[in-house]
Each structure stands twice: as structure tokens, then as C-alpha cells.
Amino acid sequence: MRQIDRTAPLLSVENVSKRFGGTQASSLLSLDLYPGEVLALAGDNGAGKSTLIKMISGVHQPDSGEIRYKGETISHRSPHQVRDLGIETIYQDLALADNLDVGINIFLGRERMKRVFGIPVLDRKYMREESVNALKHLGIELNDLAMPVRYLSGGQRQAIAISRAVYWKAKVLIMDEPTAALGVPEQREVKDLIKRLQGEGVAIIFISHNLNDIFEVSDRIFVLERGRKAGERLIGDTTEDEVVAMMMGRVLDD
């Protein structure tokens, strides 16, 4: 297992809670995430994974507790502000515009403009050239960057979403079920990308129902059960059976 420098966390979540009406979605959750670390977030449906990552990404504001990035409190910032700090979330639907090409998808929401006869228009050439560099940085090659992304494979689409985050200097990457609905070769490509990002010091929160994937790519696992912490282990210090027991609330943890 790779050695992670745990001197100073890049991201800290401290005693955050969130309630929706009569439902306690998160209860006093705390975790730290370190540069170059892959932290798996596991739990059954309704365990609170989505609520936690949405609090980190600014979609939901915690009712109590604090979230810090590089020591700075970010608990009540908007998703746009959180993203600008260097925390990117890749949701399961990837948030790609199917009818647009790779270049514009890399710049989606941050489009580069130029003026032609004084009229602002999309600078497609610049965005396409930058996209080539962004993809090459991660060892990805696509034959036709002008093609709408709807015609690309699931693995290629995932690679574009990851490249977009890296291009915009993400230091924390939250990945929601990145290998779901992918074939085995495409799953391998995504896992290779994750390992490459680790080597560049990017910290990753990896959400998956697939325990094989979790044990293959993660350094540590944080298990949720009904909105509370059920357990936290280094991957080398646990087993799939213990993780399942934690997910079902059968393991008592401090």
C-alpha cells in the first residue's frame, strides 16, 4: 500500500449534521482527507453518502459542524465557490452536454469567448486545443474531438469528466459511482486514471457499491449507516465481510 502523508489534511469534515424535515440524513460525521489519498465512501442506499458529498460540494449547507479546505472554513459556500477553490464533483450522470463536443464540455460553464467583428462568439479552436492537452495529460487519446459526446463510450465520457476536473486544477475530486454501468475494460481505464491522479497528489473521495473496486483503488474506507459513521478502516486492515457488517450496523465502532 502507498504511504500517505497524514501530516495535514487537505479536507476536514468535523461533526456535520443535516436534517430534512423529520429525517436525520447525517449525524455528527467527521473525516479527514489527505493529498494523494483515495478515501472510499461506502454504505447501503439511504446511508447518507449523497448528503455528505453534497455538503462538501456546497449543494447542501450543514445544520451544524464545519467543513474546512486547506484549513479554511467552507461550510457555507455555494457550489460555484467550492468548485473554484479546487473541489470538483463528478456525479453519476457526469453532467456532460450530449449534443456538444469534447472541447466545449471541458469548458462547460467556463466557456472561452473571442470577438469577431466586435461580436462575442465561442472560441472553439482554443477550447479544442486545450482539451487535447487536458486529455493527453492523463494519457487519453480521442480520434475526433469535434464529435458530440453522445457518440462516445461510457469510459470515454468518464475520462472527459475527469479531464475537465483536472484541467481546472481540482485538488479534491469526488467521484460518484465512476465505474457503474461500464464494461470491464472501461472500468480498468477509469481505475488507471484514479491511480494516475493519486500520483499527482489529487485527493479522491470514491463512492461505490462495488467492494472489489473499493478494495482495488482505495487507501481507506469510511462506512455510513443511516446517516451515521458505522466504521473507518485502512483498506489493508479490513475485509469485505467486515465492511458489509458495518454497512448493516453489525459492527460497533468508536
pLDDT at 251 over 80: no
The closest of 108, 25, 111 to 64, measured between CA atoms, is 25
Domain end residue (candidates: 168, 187, 215): 168
The most distant pair of C-alpha atoms in the chain lies apart, rounded to whole Å, by: 68
User: Is residue 247, in this structure, part of any structural domain at all?
Assistant: yes
Task: Give yes or no: residues 54 and 111 share one domain.
Answer: no
What is the predicted pLDDT for the residue at 2?
A: 67
Per-residue cell: 58 = 456546497
What is the value of pTM for the model shown? 0.90
Task: Give yes or no: residues 134 and 245 share one domain.
Answer: no
Most confident of 29-33, 95-99, 191-195: 29-33
User: Is residue 67, in this structure, part of any structural domain at all?
Assistant: yes
Average pLDDT value for the chain:
90
Tell me whether residue 151 is exposed, middle or buried, using C-beta atoms within 10 angstroms of its C-beta: 0 to 12, 13 to 18, 19 or more: exposed
Per-residue cell: 96 = 456532460
Task: Give yes or no: residues 70 and 183 share one domain.
Answer: yes
Written as one letter, the residue type at 231 is G
Name which residue leads in pLDDT, 203 or 138: 203
User: Is residue 92, in this structure, part of any structural domain at all?
Assistant: no
Domain count of the fold of the chain: 2
Tell me whether residue 61 is exposed, middle or buried, using C-beta atoms within 10 angstroms of its C-beta: 0 to 12, 13 to 18, 19 or more: middle
User: Is residue 63, in this structure, part of any structural domain at all?
Assistant: yes
At 224, is the pLDDT very low, low, confident or very high (cuts 50, 70, 90)? Answer: very high
User: Is residue 131, in this structure, part of any structural domain at all?
Assistant: yes
Task: Give yes or no: residues 60 and 26 share one domain.
Answer: yes
User: Is residue 2, in this structure, part of any structural domain at all?
Assistant: no
Contact in structure between 174 and 89 (CB atoms under 8 Å) = yes
What is the predicted pLDDT for the residue at 253?
A: 59
Task: Give yes or no: residues 36 and 109 share one domain.
Answer: no
Task: Give yes or no: residues 182 and 249 share one domain.
Answer: yes
In the predicted model, what is the mean pLDDT of residues 164-190? Answer: 88
User: Strand order in 38-42's β-sheet?
Assistant: 87-90, 172-176, 203-207, 38-42, 220-225, 228-234
What distance in Å separates the CA atoms of residue 69 and residue 218, rounded to the nearest whole number? Answer: 21
Task: Give yes or no: residues 164 and 175 share one domain.
Answer: no
At 121, is the pLDDT very low, low, confident or very high (cuts 50, 70, 90)? Answer: very high
Provide the percentage of residues in the chain whose pLDDT is more than 90. 58
What distance in Å separates the CA atoms of residue 75 and residue 16, rounded to the nearest whole number? Answer: 9
The closest of 97, 100, 93, 79 to 178, measured between CA atoms, is 93
User: Is residue 53, in this structure, part of any structural domain at all?
Assistant: yes
Give me the domain span that covers residue 55. Answer: 9-86+171-254
The CATH number linked to 42 is 3.40.50.300
Domain end residue (candidates: 168, 183, 205): 168
What distance in Å separates the CA atoms of residue 4 and residue 169, rounded to the nearest whole number? Answer: 21
59-68, 73-82, 112-121, 134-143: which has the minimum mean pLDDT? 134-143
Task: Give yes or no: residues 61 and 130 share one domain.
Answer: no
User: What is the tens place of the pLDDT at every residue in 13-31?
Assistant: 999 999 999 899 999 999 9
Instruction: Quote the radius of gyration of the chain (alpha carbons, Å).
Output: 19
Length reported for the chain:
254
pLDDT at 166 over 90: no
What distance in Å separates the CA atoms of residue 121 and residue 124, rounded to the nearest whole number? Answer: 9
Task: Give yes or no: residues 178 and 254 share one domain.
Answer: yes
Task: Give yes or no: residues 162 and 227 share one domain.
Answer: no
User: Is residue 31, in this structure, part of any structural domain at all?
Assistant: yes
User: What is the tens place of the pLDDT at every residue in 36-80?
Assistant: 999 999 999 889 999 999 999 999 999 999 999 999 999 889 999
User: DSSP alpha helices (H): ranges in the chain?
Assistant: 49-56, 79-85, 102-106, 124-137, 154-167, 184-199, 211-217, 240-247
In the predicted model, what is the mean pLDDT of residues 181-196? Answer: 86
Q: Alpha-carbon torsion 194, 96, 83, 206, what sign?
A: negative
pLDDT at 252 over 60: no
Name which residue leads in pLDDT, 145 or 247: 247
What is the predicted pLDDT for the residue at 1?
A: 56
Task: Give yes or no: residues 70 and 186 share one domain.
Answer: yes
Domain end residue (candidates: 152, 168, 184): 168
What is the predicted pLDDT for the residue at 59?
A: 94
Q: How many other β-carbons are positioned within 10 Å of the β-carbon of residue 105?
A: 24
The closest of 187, 177, 234 to 43, measured between CA atoms, is 177
What distance in Å separates the CA atoms of residue 10 and residue 221, rounded to the nearest whole number? Answer: 17
Task: Give yes or no: residues 57 and 109 share one domain.
Answer: no
